[in-house]
Amino acid sequence: MKPLRWGILGAANFALHHMGPAIHAAKGASLCALATSNPTKAAAFGAFVPDIKIYESYDSLLAANDIDAVYIPLPNHLHVEWTLRALEAGKHVLCEKPITLMASDFDRLIDARENSGLLVAEAFMIVHHPQWARARDIVASGVLGRLRHVAATFSFYNDDATNIRNIAAAGGGGLRDIGIYAFGSTRFVTRQEPRVITHAKAAYENGVDVFAQVAAEFDDFDFSATISMRMFPRQEVVIHGEKGVLKLSCPFNPSVHAQAELHLETDTHTITTQRFPSINHYVMQVEAFGRSVTDGSPYACPLEFSKGTQQMIDMVFAELT
């Protein structure tokens, strides 16, 4: 079977350092094209894909007949527009998160997906990592007993005013950038949805949220999260039940922050640690996307799931106003 031929819209640093190499390394995928008008950035991609074809505009890449799928790492406020344009051009789409800035925008994407018959998904890579599949199985097994609380923390330090995360007009802010992981991972691992946001507090700089504390009630448990773009890097998810505790010490970007590890403590007073060294969830995401395109395999993060996470983000912003 021929590999899925990929193009990238925009030479973002994240595409250069993570997703570009992942597409290049993934089985069943071939990184063939990049759209950028910047020769220096194009050369950086050519360093690991010497025969990559460079297009000077996004539209020219989308018009290419030898590209099957595109990855979109553009600023957040451009995601919906270019996802729709890519679908209109007949390309499958993997778009960086958040794929929309409002949950209501998902209806346009879902309609376009259904009308085109193409795959379009948000690049929520963590659900493709085996630590999260294992965590989901542990929760479902009942070994933790009744769930009572889930706590998530994700922080890093970035005060670069030119970075799109710090630009309000580009859809920046911590909740959209990394809150999506705290909220989406909790929904994924528990298979539950938030009923109400019980507390939301945020600090803003230049119109974007740089720190937030959020509490919510799910059907069977309480949830709390700390999200910040102005704190020392830290990430952790703790799932606390009546009979046990499951801790993910590097839940969101293993191999960058630290090694992915699950720590399970049960009512037998034992701690079992499971480690996942050298697993690249970006590669696994590309491979899962390709399988879904080529043989119809179920995709772990369909638009309907991503819409649910955006709905929770919208709920938090509504509480903050």
Q: Is the peptide bond before 75 cis (omega within 30 degrees of 0)?
A: no
Query: Whole-angstrom Cα distance, residue 112 to residue 136?
Result: 31
Up-side HSE of residue 12: CA atoms within 13 Å toward CB?
18
Task: Give one word for 162, left, alpha or beta, with left for phi > 0 and alpha for psi -120 to 50.
Answer: alpha
- Is 97 among the catalytic positions? yes
- Listed in sequence order, the residues at least 6 apart from 286 whose beta carbon sits closer than 8 Å to its beta carbon are 6, 19, 22, 23, 26, 29, 94
Instruction: Find the catalytic residue in 2, 27, 41, 97.
Output: 97
Element (H, E) at 317: helix 303-320
Angstrom distance (rounded) from CA 87 to CA 101: 19
CB 291 within 8 A of CB 67: no
Q: What residues are labeled active site?
A: 97
